[in-house]
Amino acid sequence: MTHERRPETGNPPRRLSPEEQERFNERVLPHLDAAYNLARYLLRDPHEAEEAVQDAFLRAIRHFDGFRGADGRAWLLSIVRNTCFTQFRRRRSGGEQVEFDEEIHSVEDETSEPEADFTRSIAEQSVREGLGRLAVEFREVLVLRELEGLSYKEIAQVAGVPIGTVMSRLARGRKQLLLALGAGAKEND
Amino acid sequence: MECRDVLDRLSPFVDDELDPVASREISQHLKSCPSCTAALARQRELGESLRRDLEYHRAPDLLRARVMREVRGAERREVAPSRFPALPWRWLSAAAAVAAVVGGTWMVATLPRDRGDEATAREAVSGHIRSLMANHLTDVASTDQHTVKPWFSGKLDFSPPVTDFAGADYPLTGGRLDYLQGHPVAALVYMHRKHVINVFLWPTAGAREQQAAAVTQRGFHVIHGTHAGMAYWVVSDLNAEELASFARMLAASPGRP
């Protein structure tokens, strides 16, 4: 599968000065794993994730003079997520739409104590699957919160939304996941 | 606070992201409400399950190498990736030729030298990149050469020389086992500022003393040579000059056999 080249390639290349490289290596580069992990969960494809991360780093290098704060992770992750969403839109223009459908995915409460061990592996599977079925906006905040341990403020910075939106997306995402896992059936009442 | 309000706020409550007043009110409510307490338990359980069961995808080696090259400005997308190693390797051949004239016989023993070295350099750089992935840098993390050196005994059939250069601002940070050329080798890890330096060591039977040669592979500097029966390969993204001075120190250190 070939994608058209990114818009980034059209811009003149920028080189970091040795001092900038040093700073980049200290503040931004250590978050490569976080960048890739986020891209994997957003795009759900290893190759596209690699492409997005590589692209995101080109952007990060290009805009490094705009980097002021000490928090390289949130800064880098916001570039990564924007790159991923751009990639998404390009893909979506093809028509693929993955949305979480509560009616289809909510299941009866079938978790019961004696079968807990037996159902563990199924549960693991379900958590991954459940997350995979969530709309990307929910997946994003959950990954940033649970796997990166970011604060709401940091997540807001990464996703470019108000903190209140982060809060409600997390709450809704969790609720949908609990429903899908069959544990949240009682939560509505 | 009513159950509905509490349930609505359980998610930020679990994340400890509520203001102290709301947080206290919820705690108060939970003390006397079993159903909300159960809901809280489910929230916590979900979080634990996500953190436990979701895979954390670490960046693949190749991506890491590419990104590091981007940082160095050494690669643009339009450029074919093969461009980069070409020059240094020609340089290596030249260096090998010069060494052959100076050094004499070893050339015969290790023929074809530059081709073998090229493969080893590639492996050494891969080893270096692998080591940069989180938690793969050291098997034994210690700045004490007297801890690192014994750690290798029993794991390798040779005893690598281990010297700390903390005094010169190249502190030893640990060691690990690695594989190069199909056999286990000692990998010593040094730091200089924020740069990681990997030193791969293994004995080379009967090999003559070999002057240090420097190459660049995939954006990393590699210096290698043979000293007192040990082949050493030094890999880092540190600049060439500093790495060369480190290699000189390494080859001259009293700790070496």
Judge whether A127 is closer than 8 Å to chain B, CB to CB. Answer: yes
| pLDDT value of position B72 | 82
Nearest CB to A25; choose among B17, B57, B194? B194
The full set of domain ranges for chain A reads 9-92, 102-180
Contacts with B, A 62-101, CB within 8 Å? none
**pLDDT digit string (tens) for chain B, length 257 residues:** 889 999 999 999 999 999 999 999 999 999 999 999 999 999 999 999 998 888 889 899 889 988 988 888 754 443 333 333 333 333 444 444 444 433 333 333 333 344 577 888 888 988 888 787 655 677 777 778 888 888 887 788 888 888 889 888 899 988 888 888 777 899 999 988 778 899 999 888 666 677 778 887 777 889 998 887 888 999 998 888 889 999 998 888 765 43
Q: Summarize pLDDT for A61-85 with one digit per residue, the tens.
A: 998 988 887 678 899 999 999 999 9
Only one residue has tokens 């909510």, namely A106
Q: Residue A110 pLDDT > 50, yes or no? A: no
Range of weakest confidence among A23-27, A107-111, A163-167, B107-111: B107-111
The pLDDT, as a whole number, for residue B118 is 80
Contact A52, A84 (CB under 8 A): yes
Residues of A in contact with B3 (CB under 8 A): none
pLDDT at residue A11, as a whole number: 54
Pairwise pLDDT comparison (B139 vs A53), residue with the higher score: A53
Domain locations in chain B? 3-53, 85-252
Considering chain A, what percentage of its residues have pLDDT values greater than 90?
A: 44
Instruction: Residue B197: list chain A partners with CB under 8 A.
Output: none
Q: What is the DSSP string of B53-97?
A: HS---PPPHHHHHHHHHHHHT---TTS-TTHHHHHHHHHHHHHHH
CA-CA distance, A105 to B54, in Å (whole number)? Answer: 19
| Residue A11 touches partner B, C-beta closer than 8 Å | no
Q: Does B133 touch chain A (CB under 8 A)?
A: yes
The CATH number for B85-252, chosen from 3.30.200.100, 3.40.50.720, 3.40.50.150, 3.30.930.10, is 3.30.200.100
CATH, domain A102-180, list 2.60.40.4070, 1.10.10.60, 1.10.760.10, 1.10.10.10: 1.10.10.10
Return the pLDDT at B86.
34
Asked whether the beta carbons of B141 and B176 are under 8 A apart, the reply is: no
Instruction: Please tell me the distance from the alpha carbon of residue B109 to that of residue B86, in angstroms, as a whole number.
Output: 26
CB B163 within 8 A of CB B155: no
Measured at the alpha carbon of residue B96, what is the angle toward residues B94 and B101, in degrees to the nearest 5?
100
Q: Beta partners for B196?
A: B191
Among B52, B57, B133, B236, which would you mutate to test the A interface (most chain A Cβ atoms within 10 Å of its Cβ)? Answer: B57
Whole-number Å distance between alpha carbons of B187 and B139: 10
Phi, psi torsion values for B235, nearest 5 degrees: -130, 135
Of the CATH numbers 3.40.50.300, 3.40.50.720, 1.10.1740.10, 3.40.50.2300, which one belongs to the domain with range A9-92?
1.10.1740.10
Q: Which chain B residues are within 8 Å of A187, Cβ to Cβ? A: 7, 39, 42
Angle in degrees, CA A97, A99, A103, rounded to 5: 135
Question: Hey, what's the torsion of the CAs at B214, B216, B221, B222, to 10 degrees?
Answer: -50
Percent of the residues in chain A that have a pLDDT greater than 70, as a whole number: 71
Give the pLDDT of residue B91: 40
